[in-house]
Amino acid sequence: MAWRCSAPTNAGLIDNLTTANILSTPRIIAAMKATDRAHYSPRRPYDDAPQSLGFGATISAPHMHAHALESLAPMLRPGASVLDIGSGSGYLVAVFSKLVRPGGKVVGVEHIKELNEAAESRFVAAEGTLAKELLQKGEVVFKTADGRRGCPGEKFDAIQ
C-alpha cells in the first residue's frame, strides 16, 4: 500500500515502493535510489505524501512518481527525449536525466518562475559537475512556461 511506503532514508523509501509492487523495473529503481529526494523536497522527503514547495505547488508523493516512471519505462531509454510538465521540484527531471543518458534530453517546464529557478538550483546542488555539463550541453533544460502549451518545435518520446 502506497501510503505505507514512507521510510527514514531514500533507499528505504525505494525498497518499500518495490516491496509494495509499485516499482519493478531495475533501471528505474536504480535511478530513484541514485536521486535522493532530500535534495528536492524541503521537508519530510521520505514520507510517501505530497510536500509543499510554496506558491501553492507540491512535489508529488513518491508512489505517484514511481507509478509515472513505471508507466513510461518503455520510452525511458538512452537517447530518448522527455518533457516534464510541472517540474517545480526538479526531482523527476533528475531521475529522467539518469534514464535517458547517454544522448537523451529532458525538458522541465514550470510556469512559476521562482519554482523553476529553485528546481534548476536544486538539480545543480544535488548532481554537481554532471548537472552543469548536462545543462551546458542542453541535455537538461529548465523552462519557465505554460506546460499546457507544450514545447513548440520539439518532439518528445515521453511526456509526464
Supply φ then ψ for residue 57, to 5 degrees.
Answer: -110, 160
81 among known catalytic residues: no
Tens digit of pLDDT for each residue in 1-22? 556 899 999 999 999 999 999 9
Distances (CA, A) of 154 to 28, 106, 124, 139: 25, 11, 24, 13
pTM given for the model: 0.95
Q: What is the pLDDT of residue 151?
A: 79
Catalytic residue, candidates 60, 81, 87, 89: 60
Cell of 62: 513518491
CA dist 9 and 47 (Å) reads: 9
Q: Is the pLDDT of residue 144 over 90?
A: yes
Q: What is the CATH number of the domain that holds 12?
A: 3.40.50.150
Full residue range of the structural domain in which residue 106 is found: 2-159
Q: Is the pLDDT of residue 108 over 60?
A: yes
- How many domains does the structure of the chain reveal? 1
